[in-house]
Structures are given as C-alpha cells and as structure tokens.
Structure 1
Amino acid sequence: MTTPRQDPPAQPKTPQAGSNQPTNSSTAQEEYRRIGKDYELAVDQLKAARSAQFAYWIVLISGFTLAALLAYSVVIGLWREEPVTTRYVGLIALLILCITVGVLVVKNRRKIIEFDVGVRNLGHDRQSAATRIPSSSIESLRLYREASQDIVVQFRTRATRNLRAHNTVQAIIIIGSVTASTTTAVMAGEHPLSWISTGLTAFISITAGLAAYFKFRERGYNLQSTADEIEKHYNATQFRLNEYSKGGDEAEADRLRMFAENVERLRDEQRKRELQLEQSPGQREER
C-alpha cells in the first residue's frame, strides 16, 4: 500500500524588482496626489463655509439692530397714538429675516464643524501617505519640486496683500493730509466745525504710525523676492541652467537635492527677515 505523496507547502512569492506592487513608490505617489486633491477641496469648502458664516453674522447683527430701532419707533408711535402700518410690516419682516439668518447660522456652524473634521482627517491621511513614499526615491524629490510652486503662490499672495495694504495706507495718508490742510485753512478761526480738521489730522497721524510699525512695503518686497528666487531655481532645474546644468539624466536626483537645499535656504532667510521686521531697532542693535 503506497502512501500518497505530499507536495511541499507553497512558498510565498517574493515580489520581483520592477513589479507593480501596491506599496511601490509610484502607487504611493498616486495615493498622495489623490488625497492631496481631496484635502485642498475640503480646505476650500471650509473657507467658503466660514466666509458664509461671517456674512450671516453681519446680516444677523444688522437685522437685529434695525429691528430694535424699528421696534423703538413703533413703541414711540403707540405712545403718541400714531401707529403706522408700515412700521409693523417692517418690524415683522426684519424679525423674519433675523430668525431665518439665525437658523442658517446654526446649520452652517454644523457644516463648519463637519468640514473642519474632514480637513483634519484628510490632513492626517495625507501625512500618512507621504510617509509611504521613500524619502530617497526620485519621486519624493520631484514631489518636493512641484510642491515648491505652492510656496511660490503662497508667498506671492501674501506679498500682494501687503503691497495692497501699503498702497491703500499711502493713499489715505496723501488724501487725508491734503483734506486736513484744506479744511484747516477753510475753517480757520472760531469755526464750529474746526474739530473736523483736528480729527483728520489725528487720523492721519495714527495711520502713518501704523504703516511705519507694520512695514507693509518691506514685508511685501521680501515675500515677492523670495517667491521670484524659488521660481528661478524651479525653472533652472527644468531647463538645466546655471548650477543645475551638470550631469545628464542620471544626475537628476542630485539636481533635485540641490534644488531642495536652495529652497530651504531661501525659506530660512525669509523667516529671518520676518523676525527682523518684528523686532524694534533697539533690539536689532543689541543682537
């Protein structure tokens, strides 16, 4: 009687080099991009919900203020035995508006909480996906290079905001100075409205002091310069210009590492310039 031959247990297959495994760098890269896209969309939804909440609060406060004023006029009219129908209609309409906006505020607050939780979860998922990308792989270096464009956009947005604030403040100072000097000349002497020129002069002085303190022009200039430098290095890596022209296709990883070093250096210099602007002249001299 012969015993049946038993086959040896099957050994697990070892993934071969170059095979498409779920955990390889290309799959991790695609997953990171997908989660990053969802994260940006969630952040945009959260910003939109917060903006809507801010608008709802403005409408609600304005509506309650108008309702209080209208209710006061209704009470005064009743005391004087002069009730006006339009007052009642306007008061009821304002109250309905306030109630409606109040309901929207409550519902939108729940949406903000849901969007905030979603953004936090997607941010955690994005960080987890980033950890699955090999740090030594060329895909991670390419990802850093493309992510540098987000830094450029962020810096330029902040630079535009600061320069716009600087131009606005300068326009206020110029127009206000001319108006204050004109009103001072017109209302010379014991004019009953001479306090207007005094108020304008004080307002211009406060505005000029705030402009000198916050240094909008310097902040915008530094941010714009840093963004331009990062973009210059980004273009140099693509077209192999200047210091990135050494080596062929096999030296792409070295060029990308050099690009990452330059970007981090520029960002560090930008942070130092911002800290210097935050310090007073006396503190800078002590340092």
Structure 2
Amino acid sequence: MAKFMASPTNTTEMLIQYRQEVEDLKQRIKNRRLQVAGLYGTPILLLAIFSTWVLTSNFLWINSNTPKEVHLAFFIISALLAGATGLQVAAEFHEVHAIWKDRGTSIRKLRLDLELAEERRVLEARSSTPETLNRQASYKERLPGEVARLRKESRHYRRVHLLMQWLVFISSASITAVTAWYDPPQPGKGVLIALGFIVTVVTGATGYFKPRERAFNLQQTADSIEQHSTALDLGIAPYTHDEATNLGNFAATVEGLRADQRMREQQLDQPFQGQQEVI
C-alpha cells in the first residue's frame, strides 16, 4: 500500500493521490488473481495433459504403437506447462527471482487495503467538501467523458447488430443457393443444417439481446446530454438564469436523463411480458 512521504497542502492533490492509490490497488488485485490462477491452475493443467497422454496411448492405440507425432505434441505441451510452472513457482517463492510485486500476499489482504484506501478518500473528501456551486461546475466538466462512453457503447451495439443482420442475410441466401445447387441434397444437407442453425441462433440472439435498441438508447442519451451541455455553455433556453440556478437545473436534468437510460436498459433485459408490466 502506497505511503505518502509528505502531507500535501493542496486538498485536490491529496484527493488525486488517494484516487491513484485506489486504482493501483484495483490493478494489483487483478494481477494477483491472475498470478494465483496461474500458480495453481498450470500444475493442474499439466497433470490433466499428462493423464490424457497416458490414457490416449493406452486406449486409442491398444493394438499398435502410438504415432510419434502424438508423443511429440504431448511432450511439447507438457514441457511448456512444466516450464511455466517452474517460472511461476520461482516468482512466488524464490527470494532472488522475486518478480511479482505482491508475492505471498493474499487477495483478501489486498481487498482490505482497497477498502481502507477508499474509506480514507471518502473521509478526506467529506472533510473538505466544496460548495454546491463548485460541485455542480465539476460535475459539468466530467460529462464529456460520460458522453464519450455512451457513444462508444452505442457504436459497439450498432456493430453487433449489423454483424448479426449480415449473418442472417448471408445464411438465409446461402440456404436457398445450396438447396438449388445440390439435387439431391447430399452433400449439401450438412451445409443446410449448419446455415439453418446459424439463422436460428442469430435471430434468437438478436431478439433477446436487442443490440439495435441498446445502441439507439445510448446514442439518444449522449445526444441529449450534449445538447443540454451546449445550451448551458451558450446561455440559451432553458438555461437563461443566473449561474447557480443554471448549474442546478443542468445537473438535475442530466441525472434524469441517466436515470431514464438505466431504466430503459433494465426494460431491455427483461422478457417481453415483464417489459409490458414495467411500462
């Protein structure tokens, strides 16, 4: 856990340092999870590969010798896993080759450090809470990042929707083409089954996850927030009052838009009957 060498005189700098400490601990927890998973998972995988090697040699080639290629493939995989296991054990337990920052530290300990760091940040922020007008001004300055996030998610769901639609189009057209090309169906029967499976799965996934609706809602929320932000900067309706009133109205409006967005996401996650009950 990071220690501060000197007490910052500026409250903003102190809050930034606390924030950096929290983010650092979050990343360390992720890294430690990967380290523990590799430390214990690699030997288990090595044992599974070795067992598969033995069983394959004894049951698949009972009356003949196992091909050399099979032995070579299993040997290479086992050697790589054994090398990875040795490196991870050295990184975890060897003093000289200690390259892991949190070796020997439990994830529970790191989580506790994270909770304490967040608590210190909250207490520091609470003890030096700025005036409401300053908080509202800071809130406005953070909105461009929120708008960018909404637009990014909207583009993601739009691409997913287009990909699904193209899969449906191509598979549906291919079914007709393969049916017309092969008469009798063999060997096109397997192709027809695969194409029909793709159409069914993609159509069902599109109806369940609704990427088009999600993209539309995200884009609409981002546009609305950006519209209100521009109106506030230009001092046009509905933000034609004094600064304090405008910032208060702006924060309330944006939070209402975000709440509506979350409600629409929850409605999309529910079955059709559940959506009707919510509405």
Letter in 2 for 1:216: P
1:197 Cα deviation (Å)?
0.1
Residue 13 of structure 2 is matched in structure 1 by 30
SS of corresponding position for 1:244: coil
Pick from 158, 179, 185 the counterpart of residue 184 of structure 1.
179
**Larger Cα Rg: Structure 1 or Structure 2?**
1
String of CA shifts for 1:98-150, please: whole Å, max 9, x gaps: 23445649968978937655544443333333323426343322332233344
1:234 Cα deviation (Å)?
3.1
1:276 touches 1:284 (CA, 8 Å); kept in 2? yes
Residue 146 of structure 2 is matched in structure 1 by 151
Relative to structure 1, is the Cα distance of residues 128 and 99 closer, same or farther in structure 2, using a 3 angstrom cutoff?
farther
String of CA shifts for 1:38-88, please: whole Å, max 9, x gaps: 43455456567768999999999998887666556655679635773x655
TM-score by length of 1: 0.68
Aligned residue runs from structure 1 range 105-254, under 5 A: 113=107, 119-134=114-129, 136-247=131-242, 251=243, 253-254=244-245
SS of corresponding position for 1:209: helix
Residue 9 of structure 1 is matched in structure 2 by none
- d(CA) in 2 for partners of 1:234 and 1:222? 18
Relative to structure 1, is the Cα distance of residues 200 and 47 closer, same or farther in structure 2, using a 3 angstrom cutoff?
farther
Pick from 258, 269, 273 the counterpart of residue 278 of structure 1.
269
1:80 aligns with 2:61: no
Residue 261 of structure 1 is matched in structure 2 by 252
Relative to structure 1, is the Cα distance of residues 68 and 137 closer, same or farther in structure 2, using a 3 angstrom cutoff?
same
- d(CA) in 1 for partners of 2:257 and 2:83? 50
Point out where structure 1 has 5 or more consecutive residues left out of the alignment.
Answer: 1-21
Q: Say how many residue pairs are matched.
A: 259
Q: RMSD over aligned Cα, in angstroms?
A: 4.2
State, as a whole percentage, how many aligned pairs show the same letter: 23
1:264 Cα deviation (Å)?
0.9
Relative to structure 1, is the Cα distance of residues 163 and 74 closer, same or farther in structure 2, using a 3 angstrom cutoff?
same
Letter in 2 for 1:95: S
Relative to structure 1, is the Cα distance of residues 137 and 272 closer, same or farther in structure 2, using a 3 angstrom cutoff?
closer
SS of corresponding position for 1:191: coil
1:180 touches 1:200 (CA, 8 Å); kept in 2? yes
- d(CA) in 1 for partners of 2:51 and 2:215? 44
Q: Point out the more displaced range, 88-97 or 220-229.
A: 88-97
Point out where structure 2 has 5 or more consecutive residues left out of the alignment.
Answer: 1-6, 93-99
